[in-house]
Each structure stands twice: as C-alpha cells, then as structure tokens.
Amino acid sequence: MSKLAGKHIVITGASAGIGAELARQLGAQGCRLTLAARRCELLQQVAEQVRQAGGQAQVAVCDVAQREQVLALAAAARAGFGEIDVWVSNAGHGIRHRVLQAAEDDMLEQYKVNCLSSLWGYQAVIPHWQDHQRSGQVIDVSSVGGKAGFPFAAGYVAAKHALSGLGDVARQELAGSGIMITTVYPGSTLSDFSRAVLDRTDGTITSSLSGIKRRSSLLVRILSAEQSSAHVARCIVGVMLRPRPTAYPHPGATFAAILNNFWPGFVLAQIVKLRRGI
C-alpha cells in the first residue's frame, strides 16, 4: 500500500495541466483529494478520473486571487474529508508583456495569483496544524522563473521570485515544527498554461519568440525543452513521499537558472545574440 494512501491533499489549479495530472497520479495512490479551480465542469471531470484511478475526490470552486476564497477552501476541504495533510498551491497564470509597458493592474494581479495565493494557503492551513500539534506539508509550485528571469514576463517572473523568498522565510520560521514548506521549480512545461498566457503586445512578442526558438543553438534548445505535466506531477508526488525544501523537475532549466545566477554576463550575451532582429 502507498505511503500516501488515505492522505487528504488539497490541490489548487486542479482543472487542467500539472494540477489535473497530479490529481490523477494521487488518485492512483489512494488519496482523498480536494480539487480547486475556477472551472467547475473541468474540475468534475478530473474528480471522476481520480475516482476511476482508485482515489476519492471532492471539488470546490475557488479564485485563489481572493484571500477569503482560499480560507473558505480550507474550511470546505476539512468539512468534507477532515484534516488536511498536504496543501499544493499550484494555481497560476502568466502575462506576456515588455517590462517598460507593464501595467500596474497586471503586475498586481500576477503577484496575487502567483505569490499571495500561496501566502493565503499558509494562513489557511498552518495555524490549524499548529493548534492541533500536527505535522503537515505545503507545496508551492513555482517556476525556474523564480530563480532567473526571462524576457517578456516581468509580472510572472517578479511574482515567482517573491514566492521563492516567501517560501525561504516560511521554512526558516517553521524550522523544527514538523511543518515543511516545499518549493518546486518546473521549467517550461507542456500544459494549458502557455495557451492561457495573456499577450499584451498584440502578438508581436509571440512571433518574436518563435523566431528566437528557430535561431537557438542545439544547447539552448536542450536547456529549454518542454517537459510533460506528468513528469512534473511525478516530481511533486516524490516530494510528498520524501519531503524536502526544494525540487527541480527539469535538469536543463535548472542548469540555465544556476548559470544565470553565477555567470549573468554570459547568459545576457547569448540572449542579445538570439534577439537580433526583434
């Protein structure tokens, strides 16, 4: 029997992509899942797939950009399946824009969805664990964009950098308590996420990025190759089985982020070469 069998796990952003794939994999582990997102019909479909895989599932419509809805999600989850064992903050979205044209409303919305939603998740579950002297785990699904920037994603990258710092601080404050904060840093992933990205440039950036990809060297294409949602989900299941502070599902993207942190001049020079003609 799986070590996760019977565990109550909450997943936000569970209607598609990484969240839906994670739900299916955890269903096969015999977990009890509370699935949250804004699209109820898609959530119901994922919940049925969880049940067919051998798990239990309940759904809750939730906009994670609203703090009161995140707190209500935790209450509804407990009412249905009892105490929460793991909370996965997976919901997120991006905007494609140039930094000099970034609008305040877009930046604030990115911060709410990609960073503050995780903070509200902490506030929804951790005090309850502390009050009942329980251990637990919160998993934040971040991005390598939270470790190194990339062009035309100012709001998303800034929010994910903030999330990285938030997780670091929470881990330090909770050290020794039996409560683990795990930050997962996927690279580029095949999912609905990229198709849902808002483009504030009338398509000019999208076409430019296509040109960059065509001109990229073999090494760059390997480092930026897309991983599957199933691969990322397996990594998340892995950190539930063996909790640790951070996880990097995509070795190539991780190497690129490390390279940018330690040798930014080199990385910048490569970007300048690729961006010729934009």
Residues with catalytic function: 156
Contact assessment for residue 260 and residue 144, using Cβ atoms and an 8 Å cutoff:
no
Report residue 164 as tokens: 């990285």
Cα–Cα distance between 186 and 165 in angstroms, integer? 16
Beta strands in the chain (DSSP E): 8-12, 32-37, 56-61, 86-89, 95-96, 136-141, 179-184, 189-190, 198-199, 227-228, 246-247
Largest CA distance in the chain: 60
Cα–Cα distance between 165 and 235 in angstroms, integer? 21
Local structure of 92: helix, strand or coil = coil
